[in-house]
Amino acid sequence: MQVLFVTQYGPRAASSRTRVFNYLPFLRAQGVDCTVLTVLPDRVIAGSQVIASRQPVRKGLYYLGAAWRTWSCGVRVIRWAARFDVLFIQKVIFPPPIRWWLRRSATPVVYDFDDAIFTTEIRTGHWLARWKEARNARGLPAMLSLSRHAVVENQYTGQFARRFCPVLTITGPIDTSPYDTMAARPAVARDKVVLGWIGSGSTVAYLDRIRRPLQSLAARFPSLRLLVIGAEWSAVGVDVECRPWVLEREAADLAGCDIGIMPIPDDPWTRGKGGFKLLQYMAAGLPVVTDPVGINADIVADGHSGYLVDGDQGWSAALQQLIEDADLRQRLGAVGRQRVKERFAQHVQQGHLLAMLRQVAGGAS
């Protein structure tokens, strides 16, 4: 079986890494001939994190470059498609002329998307955000309607995709092997209790939701520190360390924390999130605290691997309990780690993806 994977980003972007690149060694070992075509390689993805309302010119140039690269990759897909048994398109929304051709191609399409891209993350009213929302509102149904199968993160996005084609739901998945190495290290006594958050400039504002609980807890527990990985954030009275995200170091960075946190609002965009932060924290053996939004309520076994909380009082109470009780942190972290390895790990999910690809390839006319 020959599969052409068309990815939105390169392997340093979490969505393309977890939804395509991490599968490739397994698929190739199973005899699948995998070719990858990337629209926005690692060297150009910095523009994806630019906020349109703050840097409209830079964001506009990024969108122009992305549009040109999307067309270019689409033309190559047209030229190459006949050589493959399946076209696996990860998150790319091709323009109408490319979609017209894909509908008429004999090669079946599988479409993967990991966020609620039928809405938008940036609700600023800026014209670039409105354009992106309008494009996605038209383009995602069009991509799904020409697809033989879809792959999604959760039931929320799955409900949307099922209007157009059959669906395979794969939450994450997460490659637990880097965290296995960290977990094997002996525990190191620390004089600080470290809260860990990992993300990017587009999601760091969610920490503002728990600013007051963090400030209150920091006043009561001088040993408390917050490690922010991948973005800049600060709060008066809170000991915050901001560290750049480095793929090769992220497992070790998280292993240096005691509690993983994921504050998140409840809106149409966040209900489609895949909860990957939680999977990372739990793979690293950390108890987690998060809002019960979307897939979070399925990932976290409340009271067993972490806490699902709501509002300042809920956040304060859960974090205080974990800050004060190291044994509780260890127990909940161990349960969470086992839960991830059994349900959300790559080695558990990759067989389901392979089976679907074989089914789609075998059913091609």
Residues pairing with 198 in the sheet: 229
The parent domain of residue 14 ranges over 2-173+345-362
Residue 54 pLDDT: 54
Residue 66 pLDDT: 82
- Integer Cα distance of 111 and 77 in angstroms: 14
Res. 238: pLDDT tops 80: yes
Shared domain check, 209 and 121: no
Shared domain check, 281 and 155: no
Alpha-carbon torsion angle 111, 18, 7, 137, nearest 10: 50
Shared domain check, 231 and 249: yes
Confidence of residue 119 (pLDDT cuts 50, 70, 90): confident
**275, 296 in Cβ contact below 8 A?**
yes
**240, 215 in Cβ contact below 8 A?**
no
Res. 353: pLDDT tops 50: yes
- In the chain, the number of structural domains is 2
Q: Rg of the Cα trace of the chain?
A: 21
Residue 188 pLDDT: 56
Residue bearing the bigger pLDDT, 191 or 83: 83
In percent, the amount of the chain with pLDDT more than 90 equals: 76
Shared domain check, 81 and 93: yes
- The predicted-structure confidence for 12-68, as pLDDT tens digits, reads as follows 989 999 999 999 999 999 999 999 999 998 876 654 554 544 555 566 667 677 888
Least confident of 43-52, 307-316, 326-335, 349-358: 43-52
Mean pLDDT of 259-264: 97
Mean pLDDT of 264-274: 89
Residue 189 pLDDT: 58
Shared domain check, 215 and 115: no
Buried-exposed string 177-213: b where 16+ CB fall within 10 A, e elsewhere: ebbeebbeeeeeeeebbbbbbbbeeebbebbeebbeb
Mean pLDDT of 347-354: 96
Residue 47 pLDDT: 47
**164, 266 in Cβ contact below 8 A?**
no
- The predicted-structure confidence for 124-161, as pLDDT tens digits, reads as follows 556 556 666 667 768 899 999 999 999 999 999 999 99
CA distances from 274 to 110, 295, 315 (A): 19, 6, 21
Residue 33 pLDDT: 97
The chain-wide mean pLDDT, for the chain, equals 89
**153, 146 in Cβ contact below 8 A?**
no
Shared domain check, 272 and 154: no
Shared domain check, 336 and 217: yes
Shared domain check, 217 and 349: no
Shared domain check, 352 and 323: no
CA distances from 349 to 6, 17, 175, 354, 356 (A): 20, 15, 10, 9, 11
For residue 137 the two structure tokens come to 């509102």
End-to-end CA distance of the chain, in Å?
15
Res. 83: pLDDT tops 50: yes
Residue 289: give its domain's CATH number: 3.40.50.2000
Res. 266: pLDDT tops 80: yes
Residue 64 pLDDT: 79
Residue 131: give its domain's CATH number: 3.40.50
- Integer Cα distance of 105 and 141 in angstroms: 18
Shared domain check, 349 and 337: no
Buried-exposed string 258-289: b where 16+ CB fall within 10 A, e elsewhere: bbbbbbbeeeebbbbbbbbbbbbbbbbbbbbb
- The predicted-structure confidence for 177-187, as pLDDT tens digits, reads as follows 999 876 655 55
Shared domain check, 183 and 288: yes
Shared domain check, 314 and 197: yes
Res. 218: pLDDT tops 90: yes
- The predicted-structure confidence for 274-293, as pLDDT tens digits, reads as follows 899 999 999 999 999 999 99
Alpha-carbon torsion angle 326, 328, 329, 333, nearest 10: 150
